[in-house]
Amino acid sequence: EPEVTQTPSHQVTQMGQEVILRCVPISNHLYFYWYRQILGQKVEFLVSFYNNEISEKSEIFDDQFSVERPDGSNFTLKIRSTKLEDSAMYFCASIVRGGTGELFFGEGSRLTVL
């Protein structure tokens, strides 16, 4: 079964450092997402990406965050100058198409900011 893959599975970083989380969506998928989940809390929407541009972003997704799809396969989330409150599980997801497409999640990248 095709799957969304994320790297790294766990990253520990110092406050103020830049972090890049990587995702390889399923190859024929068109819509891409990043979500985060602070430990014990709900899954929160960060950003959606379609046709090589951001289609929607939440208020969480401020100037500290950016996304790109540099080579047509990878989908990255960059967090500049990390803060303690950025510690969370970050999930990448993708959907093949519009309408009733099924959503597939990666296994998540756990970010710990010290």
Partner 1 sequence: GIQVEQSPPDLILQEGANSTLRCNFSDSVNNLQWFHQNPWGQLINLFYIPSGTKQNGRLSATTVATERYSLLYISSSQTTDSGVYFCAVISGGYQKVTFGIGTKLQVIP
Least distance to partner 1, CB of residue 16, Å: 25
**Count of residues of this chain found to bind partner 1 when the rule CB under 8 A is applied:** 27
**Alpha carbon distance 112, 101 (integer Å):** 32
Contact window for partner 1 (CB under 8 A) among 16-24, 60-68, 72-80, 86-94: 86-94
| 24 near partner 1, rule: CB under 8 A | no
| 68 near partner 1, rule: CB under 8 A | no
Handedness of CA 108, 74, 61, 86 (dihedral sign): positive
| 42 near partner 1, rule: CB under 8 A | yes
Residue 65's identity, in one-letter code, is F
* Structure token pair of residue 1: 């079964």
Residue 100's identity, in one-letter code, is T
| 112 near partner 1, rule: CB under 8 A | no
**Alpha carbon distance 114, 97 (integer Å):** 39
* Structure token pair of residue 38: 């602070």
Interface residue list for partner 1 (CB under 8 A) = 31, 33, 35, 37, 42-45, 48, 50, 55-56, 89, 91, 93, 95, 98-105, 107-108, 110
